[in-house]
Structure 1
Amino acid sequence: MSDQHNSSNIYERFAQVMQQTRDLVSNMEQLQDQITAILEENVELSIENEHLRQIVKKGQAKHDDNHLSGSRQNLKELYQQGFHVCSEYYGKRLAPNESCTFCLDAIFGHDQGMTK
């Protein structure tokens, strides 16, 4: 009976190790899927990052052309669309054909004059 008890115990241990191995393989497959997803996302972000670098480079080239920083260029575009960009009236609509000295000063600064 002792041999039968030992055989049963060995079989149970073997079954337990087999289940642990299956669980380990399942966990490894899940990790592999996660690693694959992360690597794919990394490639996508690298491509997007390179695209954004190119856009920034173009923006810097434009900055050199018209001597306005990117943020001031954005303010100029908002102003040209009819919105105040000065701290006094920021976001309010300009009346038709209205100009605002404060907005022009915010866009072009003191040293660049008050021209559009």
Structure 2
Amino acid sequence: MDKQAVFAQVAELEERIGELYGELGSLKKKIIDLLEENSKLQVENGNLRDRLEGQTSKSGGQQSSVGGFNALTKLYEEGFHICNIHYGSIRTEGDCLFCQSFLQKS
């Protein structure tokens, strides 16, 4: 094997290492974004649980169906899903057909 072939092989290996380093940086950023989102969702979930517990304790532990419907309507108006598919998550794009369907049935 001559010197030129060895240098070419080293250069190719160096280029591949650079590409892998770039991919590693990208994955690291995605992990950081996911961890931040997870933390935010945990706080949001805790707030929703506190709110739900507060509403339940106000009604003596037994919410009427009207009171429950009003609570769900209020949650929906505040920007949260109330449908069984995405319950408790933030509505990011306008109205949800599943939530709307639920509100119309009640």
Match of 1:57 among 53, 59, 62: 53
**Which residue is 1:101 aligned to?**
none
Gaps (5+ residues) in structure 1? 79-90, 92-116
Match of 2:8 among 7, 12, 20: 12
Please report the TM-score for the alignment, with normalisation by the length of structure 1: 0.55
Match of 2:31 among 31, 35, 40: 35
**Which residue is 2:67 aligned to?**
73
Give the fraction of aligned pairs with identical amino acids, expressed as a percent. 22
Q: Pairwise CA RMSD of aligned residues?
A: 2.7
Large movers: runs of 4+ above 6 Å: none
For 1:64, what is the secondary structure of its paired residue?
A: coil
Match of 1:21 among 7, 17, 28: 17
Q: Which whole-Å deviations, capped at 9, do the CAs of 1:27-55 have from their partners, x for residues lacking one?
A: 00000000000000000000001100100
Cα distance, 1:74 vs structure 2:
4.8
Cα distance, 1:19 vs structure 2:
0.3
Gaps (5+ residues) in structure 2? 74-103
